[in-house]
Structures are given as structure tokens and as C-alpha cells.
Amino acid sequence: MKKITATVQPVVPEDWHRADIIAALKKAGWSVRSLAAEVKVHPTTLYGALVRPYPKSERVIAQALGLKPEDIWPQRYAARNHKPVLSQAVA
């Protein structure tokens, strides 16, 4: 009989919703447009990080909120930093 072993995946919190990120920026005194002007990029560059991975923009937004990008987008960073683990089959 074969022994079946299950690997338990760590539970990764969900990424913040884009509306929550925009609200947090507003609470911190920023709009996406004003933050983009501050770092001299087009506003769509920062908006891009709200819908898809964009590390540079993620860092800018996180810094404006006083957080790490991993705190705002934990699933993106978990996927980026995933290191597959190979285990030997137990007979």
C-alpha cells in the first residue's frame, strides 16, 4: 500500500483591495495623481500596481503608506518568492 502524504500550504492573507489602497493613500494625505507627481511618473504607472504586479510602483505606494509592499500584496510576494520544495518519496 502506498503512503500518501499531504503537504500543508501556508495560508497567505489576501491582497488589499484596490479601493482600500486608494482610501489608505487618501487617509495619508495622498492621491494617486499627487503621489505620481511627487515621484515623477505618470499616474497610470501607479494605477497599474493596483491591478497587476509592478514592483517599482508597489514600493512607491507602500512607502507613502509607511508599509512594506509585502504587507499590502502578500499573495503577489508569496508567489514571487515561492521556492518549490522537492521531497523524496517514502516507500
Instruction: Indicate the angle between helix axes 43-51 and 18-27, nearest 10 degrees.
Output: 130
Q: What is the mean pLDDT of residues 3-16?
A: 73
Report the distance separating Cα 74 and Cα 81, nearest Å.
Answer: 10
Q: What is the CA radius of gyration of the chain?
A: 18
Classify domain 18-66 by CATH architecture: Orthogonal Bundle (1.10)
pTM: 0.77
pLDDT tens, position by position, 45-87: 999 999 999 999 999 999 999 999 999 999 988 877 776 666 6
Q: What is the pLDDT of residue 32?
A: 96
